[in-house]
Amino acid sequence: MSGLSLNAITKTFGDFNAVDDVSLTVPHGTFVCLLGPSGCGKTTLLRMVAGLEEPTAGSVVLDGADITAVPTHKRNLGMVFQSLALFPHLSVGDNISYALRIRGASKAEQAKRVEELLALIDLPGFAARPVAKLSGGQRQRVAIARALALSPKLFLLDEPLSALDAKLREAMQVELRQLQQRLGITTIVVTHDQREAMTMADLVVVMGKGKILQAARPIDIYRKPADAFVADFIGMTNLLPAEIDKAGRTVVLDAAIPELAMPSGMSKASVSIRPEDVHLTAPGNGVLDGTVSFVRDLGGTIETFIDIGGTAIIAVATPRERPNVEVGQEVGIELPAECCVVVKS
């Protein structure tokens, strides 16, 4: 099979399971984002793919071959490190051509490849610069070019954009995705930034406490989160307690939403509803009534915080559908059943 598969991988440090029985199949050419809070095991998993850590159990299979025991330097992969790890004693060109040079490629061959790659990352003529003289974004690109020098089978990136400021980071996310699509290379990026994952990935893998919580397309992760943790971690959401009342209807807070079916065998759960799906209306017209406690007008969106008997619900609207409410005002809330997702709490 072409692509990467991780089979039942576990990594233990002392008595701590950094990665706990993780299995994942990545078809060739897929852009994967490993997403999760710090300490969830995503970097350890990536390092095991690279061979920088040895799995305690399980196997890494690339294009049908088990590479678990293959040392890093024989794996033919490109990796970008969080610190970028540009060699400080080498110029930009020498950094990029490092992999070719240690394989004994000719000077002309090296120079040609450096030129190609510098064109690819849009830094032509930078070969002779010392890396210390580059800006943050330029260093980023050089690190990417260096990792791609040998057209590797696997492209791994560990929090590659974390050192950049917000604007540049967003631009680089788009560039990185476009570059990956052009090259068609299997890519795994570790990130804790869900926006970054949503921007770039074909497949988002949400991790927590060493396990994969959900692996799916970005929009599916957003629309159909597997559990409360995923729902909360990906984007903004309202997590509301839900239970089945005596009549067998699903009740969220105090509102009965009969159309919403609880999974069989579950009497208590949480309901996740995205803020943009919460609509405001006149008091009494919705399923719930509450008091506006805060309004945050961000220009592009307006966030309204509504207090319902101690539970806060956030509603987000575009300026076009501006709710025009004030703090302290009574409002009604609509929770469309088709937008509610029942998750384990």
Partner 1 sequence: MTARLLRRIYFALVGLFLAAPLIVVAGVSINEKQTLAFPPKGFSLSWYAQIFTDPEWRLALIHSLTLAVCSAAIAVAIALPLAWFLWRRIAPWANIFQVLGLAPFVLPPVITALGFLSFWATLGLFGQFYTAIISHGIFFVTLPLVTLSLGFASIDRALVEAASTMGADDRTVLKTIVLPLILPYLVSGYAFAFVLSLNEYIVAYMTIGFTSETLPIKIFNSLRYGYTPTMAAVSVFFVVVAAVVFGAIARFGDIRKLLGALGTQES
Partner 2 sequence: MRREPPRTLADYAPLAFPALMLIVFFIVPFSTMIAVSFFKRNPASFYTPDFVFDNYERFLSVFFGSVLAFSLMLAILVAVCCVAIAFPFTYLLTKCGRRTQTVWLVGLLSVLSLSEVIIGFSWSTLLSRTAGITNLLVAIGLMDQPVALLPSFGAVLTGMVYQALPYTILVLYPALVRLDPTLIEAARTLGASPPRAFFNVVTPALRNTIVATLIMVFVFALGSYLLPQILGRPSNWTLSVLITDQAIYQSNMPFAAAMAVFLVLISLALVGLTLLVGRREHAL
Which residues contact partner 1 (rule: CB under 8 A)? 50-52, 71-79, 81-83, 85, 87-89, 98-99, 101-103, 146-147, 149-150, 156
Phi and psi at residue 262, in whole multiples of 5°?
-85, 145
Choices 6-14, 49-57, 93-101, 313-321 (CB under 8 A): range interacting with partner 2: 49-57
Q: Cβ of residue 52: shortest distance to partner 1, in angstroms? A: 5
Q: Cβ of residue 276: shortest distance to partner 1, in angstroms? A: 40
Which of 21, 52, 249, 342: binder of partner 2 (CB under 8 A)?
A: 52
Q: Does residue 13 bind partner 2 (CB under 8 A)?
A: no
Query: Do the Cβ atoms of 279 and 298 come closer than 8 Å?
Result: no
Residue 322 binds: one of partner 1, partner 2, none (C-beta under 5 to 8 A by kind): none
Of 202, 290, 195, nearest to 252 by C-alpha is 290
Structure tokens at 15: 């008595």
Nearer to partner 1, 104 or 300 (CB): 104
Q: Does residue 70 bind partner 2 (CB under 8 A)?
A: no
Structure tokens at 236: 């903004």
Nearer to partner 1, 152 or 218 (CB): 152
Query: Do the Cβ atoms of 272 and 222 come closer than 8 Å?
Result: no
Nearer to partner 1, 152 or 275 (CB): 152
CA distance 102 to 256: 68
Residue 53 binds: one of partner 1, partner 2, none (C-beta under 5 to 8 A by kind): partner 2
225: buried, middle or exposed (CB in 10 Å: 19+, 13-18, 0-12)? buried
Structure tokens at 26: 């990545």
Q: Cβ of residue 49: shortest distance to partner 1, in angstroms? A: 11
Nearer to partner 2, 12 or 293 (CB): 12
Query: Do the Cβ atoms of 31 and 200 come closer than 8 Å?
Result: yes
Q: Cβ of residue 314: shortest distance to partner 1, in angstroms? A: 40
Query: Do the Cβ atoms of 253 and 311 come closer than 8 Å?
Result: yes
Q: Which residues pair with 33 in a beta bridge?
A: 189, 204
Choices 48-56, 176-184, 201-209, 315-323 (CB under 8 A): range interacting with partner 2: 48-56
Nearer to partner 2, 71 or 319 (CB): 71
Nearer to partner 1, 81 or 305 (CB): 81
Q: Within 160-199, which residues bind partner 2 (CB under 8 A)?
A: none
345: buried, middle or exposed (CB in 10 Å: 19+, 13-18, 0-12)? middle
Q: Cβ of residue 187: shortest distance to partner 2, in angstroms? A: 23
Query: Do the Cβ atoms of 135 and 185 come closer than 8 Å?
Result: no
Nearer to partner 1, 78 or 137 (CB): 78
CA distance 219 to 154: 25
CA distance 337 to 277: 10
CA distance 232 to 239: 8
Q: What is the DSSP letter of 344?
A: B
Structure tokens at 251: 């009740």
Residue 54 binds: one of partner 2, partner 1, none (C-beta under 5 to 8 A by kind): partner 2
Q: Cβ of residue 318: shortest distance to partner 1, in angstroms? A: 43
Which of 33, 40, 45, 53: binder of partner 2 (CB under 8 A)?
A: 53
Alpha helices in 60-129 (DSSP H): 92-96, 98-102, 107-120
CA 206, chain centre distance (Å): 7
Nearer to partner 1, 46 or 205 (CB): 46
Q: Cβ of residue 72: shortest distance to partner 2, in angstroms? A: 8
Residue 149 binds: one of partner 1, partner 2, none (C-beta under 5 to 8 A by kind): partner 1
- Residues in contact with partner 2 by CB under 8 A are 52-54
